[in-house]
Amino acid sequence: MPLPREYTFQACSLARSLEVVGERWSLLIIRDAFFGVTRFSDFAQHLGIPRAILTERLAFLVDEGILCRGPGARPRYTMTSKGEALWPAIRALVSWGDDYYAPDGPRRIFEHTGCGGDLTGDGTCTRCGSVVAAREVTMLPGPGCAPPTAGDHVSAVLAGPRVLLQPIEAPPAPPADR
């Protein structure tokens, strides 16, 4: 029996936040959206998430105003301003994980695109002192970055430098046989 999503008897902002982002896979979907993943198939492949669960989580995140679903049969999912406001929490969780669970060092290093300064765990630039918004962050491979997963073009793109929230484009189609 699945656990209920609501914390009915908790009159607390943290409980309300967990109702939205606390389910398994939700924060990883949000993380990947910051990394530039926009297509359903890319989320599914990169995360290894069952398609039915991904469908439900994406719909819920859209309903909650975290992501926006584009039109068409193959929509793209993009971050809303409400979703972008989660960046400090995502950054803090990544930093905490790097500190306690990354024996080879961080998989990714975050720097301020404007001045090239490294970001602290709370998202402050070590060079200019600014608290840096997600759209002003460049992500670089760190010492703990694993090689890209074979057949996963998202992990190949994420193995190089990139500005957050820039959409990852579809891989080129293989050449047609003649």
Percent of the chain with pLDDT over 70: 93
Sequence ranges of the domains in the chain: 14-83, 87-163
pLDDT at 176: 67
Band of pLDDT at residue 10, cut at 50, 70 and 90: confident
- 14-83 folds as Arc Repressor Mutant, subunit A (1.10.10)
pTM value > 0.85:
yes
Burial of 1 (0-12, 13-18, 19+ CB in 10 A): exposed
Within its chain, how far is the Cα of 121 from the centroid?
A: 16
Q: pLDDT by residue (tens digit) across 96-114?
A: 999 999 999 999 999 999 9
pLDDT at 16: 87
Average pLDDT value for residue range 113-133: 95
Res. 1: pLDDT tops 80:
no
Q: pLDDT by residue (tens digit) across 140-158?
A: 999 999 899 888 999 999 9
pLDDT at 170: 80
Within its chain, how far is the Cα of 171 from the centroid?
A: 19
